[in-house]
A and B are shown apart, each in its own frame.
Chain A
Amino acid sequence: MADIVLDQVTKRFPDGALAVDNISLDIADGEFVILVGPSGCGKSTTLNMIAGLEDISAGELRIGGKVVNNKAPKDRNIAMVFQSYALYPHMTVRENMGFALKLAKTPKAVIDEKVNNAAQVLDLTQHLDRRPANLSGGQRQRVAMGRAIVRDPAAFLMDEPLSNLDAKLRVQMRTEVSRLQRRLGTTTVYVTHDQTEAMTLGDRVAVMRSGLLQQVGAPQELYDRPNNLFVAGFIGSPAMNFLPSRVDDGTMRTPLGDVPVSGRLRHALERANAPRDLLVGIRPEDFEDAALVAAGTRDSGITFRANIEVVESMGSDVYVYFTMESVSEVSAAELQELAEDSGSADTGAADTGMLTARLATETTAREGQQAELWADLRSIHIFNPASGANITLDDDSAGTVRGGTTAGTAADAPRDATGPAGPAGPAASDAPAGPGTGAI
């Protein structure tokens, strides 16, 4: 058990490439922290530096209060689970799991006991004398976990441990990893490129992009209050929709319709010195079939007509992919990178300006038809396309608005849902009373 502190850690490779740029991260004892980001963002390098498999170019790494920059992996007392599992093919499961203890010259009886205990926890008892080649993917993954837990290390490091499993097993093992971590209470750093894993597993999630830490926080906080365009686009599935918009004469013109700019938003825009062209981010669940929105709630959003392209019924809700005539291509470096990471750049989906909405199952939207949709303006985010910064987030008082302390201004207050209560907050009570369309 130990805390891990990264203090301005930097990794520069001999060829000059900067893989990790000045990262500071405090990981508390027993905490489960996820490093997430697209491939090449430096998350694995960061993990390898914690493990001691990569040298640290600058900065300080402390485990349990001690600086370990120059310590060999074996002197750091941490265990690692690899993406490829890296099981020793010439050893049985028992030998694989006991290898670390054997190297540490632990008495044989103790090794046997620890291995047997770990095998029981991971349901591997009947496989102890088999070799990795004769195990299924899931079993191998469990052996890799077992090899880490028998040592009772100060911390676990996991490098995309589930990415080699098929989808169903991955979900199963995800809960297993979560359960195991809570049970053992060992500090864990988990690297993944899968935002679903990041959201479901961690106490805190650290989003990385090109060697830089973008935002660190609880999964819900990242979801509700993304610092910037990248975090907003990366966290959440299906991803947030981004629409170009332009502020003109106190009105924000978006492809969905014109929205009057409230005093608070104007203030925020001025403070951020924002350009006139902005990006509006709307999560798929903030859309709804206009017919299904209660009359009182309807005023806090805008209603628009959309060309429904594809309807996907998930059973619990319906994903609707639609286009708007006036949506031009959205361009920002972050979005380009996200598109490349998700593969939508290859399929061409990024270029068509397709938007995604998550509607209730009662929706009457049909493929190839027009439908009237409603977007909740209380939950939108506004980004500066040049810097990627979330402008709506600058308004720190947004969270207190809901508390009623500034009730007088609540009528035109930005309900951008970046407060702790999230989009599920009390909607109708303090909704802005605009005629037909709400202000943002």
Chain B
Amino acid sequence: MTAVTAPPTTATTKTATTRGRTTTTPRQKVTWGGINFVVVALALIPVLWMVSLSFKTPTAILDPSFVPAQWTWGNYTQILQTSTFVRPLINSIGIGLIATLISVVLASMAAYAVARLRFPGKAVLIGMSLLIAMFPIIALVTPLFAIERSLGLFNTWPGLIIPYVAFGLPLGIYTLSAFFREIPWELEKAAKMDGATPFQAFTKVIAPLAAPGMVTTAILVFLACWNEFLLAISLTSTTAARTAPASLAYLSGSSQFTIPTGPIAAAAVVITIPIIIFVLFFQRRIVAGLTSGAVKG
């Protein structure tokens, strides 16, 4: 053992200079730090600019200074007092939650079948679900508009929930089947031997074990619904079903002739906050969900 423990000092310095994987030289630190800074700044400056705008008074909107000269909550109080924004916010939460719930329940069953069962047409099913995920939504807007109008679904919650579920399912099936694949099959056999019906085996053994995967999937689907704009603006006409992102365009300024830049910025910040909270809390899970199946399974 002594022969093994003695060399590390020389070994680590060697790797540091030759490969630079475990430890980095100051120069590498500066280079990478610089690149990182540029990338983060590119992503962050528009967001910060938006936050800054939301705190500016209407007269200072065109003021090019980054930090508002005069801070105001006016834009926030204004949007949170009008039903033009509050009602869409409620719509967003409601539609998002319902669509997520339905997607995850259906996707978990479908993903379980995809991961575990051998049945004719399985490849077609996976192909179809991927096809839906790939389909350009813009091409569907007009037909969906016509269909929903004739069915009376236009400008209703179900009118948005149904397409959201349709687009949430492929994402859910893909993510969840990767999670299901990692659950040892013998657990299910054991449940069967213990006298469980296939449904009991799923609900009492497999589903609880896949719970982390389901949470991940739920977050991903909810984020997708929350951020969705194209269908939300095309399939709604009033605040009855319009979601928050779509409502931004309908915010009005303090008078008919003011551009509502401040309120829009404030509303955008309000919409972004839940996402930031989600991402901060579930960062690991989201990454795990997006990359699951990439390495294993």
Show the binding face of A for B, using Cβ within 8 Å.
51-53, 72-74, 78-80, 82-84, 86-90, 99-100, 103-104, 147, 151
Least CB distance from A211 to B in Å reads 21
B187 at the interface (CB under 8 A from A): yes
Q: Is B116 an interface residue (CB 8 A)?
A: no
Q: Is the CB–CB distance between A86 and B208 below 8 Å? A: no
Additional 15 contacts, C-beta under 8 A, given A80-B193, A88-B205, A100-B193: A51-B189, A51-B193, A53-B192, A53-B193, A74-B197, A80-B190, A82-B186, A86-B187, A86-B190, A90-B209, A99-B191, A103-B196, A103-B200, A147-B190, A151-B194
Residues of A within 8 A of B186 (CB): 82-84, 86
Chain B proximity of A132: nearest CB distance (Å)? 11
A-B contact count (CB 8 A): 58
B195 CB within 8 Å of chain A: yes
Cβ 8 A contact of A82, one of B190, B196, B200, B209: B190
In the assembled complex, how far is the CB of residue B33 from the closest CB belonging to chain A, in whole angstroms? 40
- Size of interface on B: residues with Cβ below 8 Å to A: 17
Write out the residue numbers on chain A whose beta carbons fall within 8 Å of the beta carbon of B152: none
Q: Which one of A79, A84, A87, A104 contacts B193 once the chains associate, using CB atoms below 8 Å?
A: A79
Residues on B with C-beta less than 8 A from A151 are 194
Residues of B151-207 contacting chain A, CB below 8 A? 184, 186-187, 189-197, 200, 204-205
Q: Do B195 and A103 have beta carbons less than 8 Å apart?
A: yes
Among A73, A83, A86, A100, find the residue whose CB has the most chain B CB atoms closer than 10 A: A86
**CB pair A82 B194 closer than 8 Å:** no
Cβ-closest 9 pairs across A and B = A100-B194, A86-B190, A86-B186, A74-B195, A80-B193, A73-B192, A103-B195, A90-B208, A82-B186
Say whether B189 contacts A72, CB under 8 Å. no
Chain B residues, CB < 8 A from A74 = 192-197
A-chain residues with CB within 8 Å of residue B193 when the two chains form the complex: 51, 53, 73-74, 78-80, 100
Kindly provide the distance from the CB of A270 to the nearest chain B CB, expressed in whole angstroms.
52
Among A51, A83, A87, A100, contact of B195 (Cβ-Cβ < 8 Å): A100
Give the docked Cα–Cα distance between A78 and B195 (Å).
9
Nearest chain B CB to A161's CB is how many angstroms away?
12
A84 to B187, CA, bound (A): 9
Enumerate chain A residues within 8 angstroms of B189, measured Cβ to Cβ.
51, 53, 80, 82, 86
Chain B residues 193 to 235 lying within 8 A of chain A, measured CB to CB, are: 193-197, 200, 204-205, 208-209
- List the B side residues contacting A83 at CB < 8 Å: 186
| A158 vs chain B, min Cβ distance (A) | 12
List residues of B (15-74) whose CB comes within 8 Å of A's CBs: none
The CA of A72 and the CA of B200, in the complex, are separated in Å by: 14
Across-interface contacts of A88 in B (CB, < 8 A): 187, 190-191, 205, 209
Query: Chain B residues with Cβ under 8 A from A86's Cβ?
Result: 184, 186-187, 189-190
Chain B residues, CB < 8 A from A82: 186, 189-190
Q: Pick from B184, B187, B192: contact of A72, CB below 8 A.
A: B192
> Once the chains are docked, how many angstroms separate the CA of A72 from the CA of B196?
10
CB-based contact A104/B190 at 8 Å:
no
Smallest CB gap from A77: residue in B = B195
Q: Considering the chains assembled together, what is the distance between the CA atoms of A99 and B205 in angstroms?
A: 10
Give 12 pairs: A residue, B residue, CB < 8 Å, sorted on A.
Answer: A51-B189, A73-B195, A74-B192, A80-B189, A86-B190, A88-B190, A90-B209, A99-B194, A100-B194, A103-B196, A103-B204, A151-B194
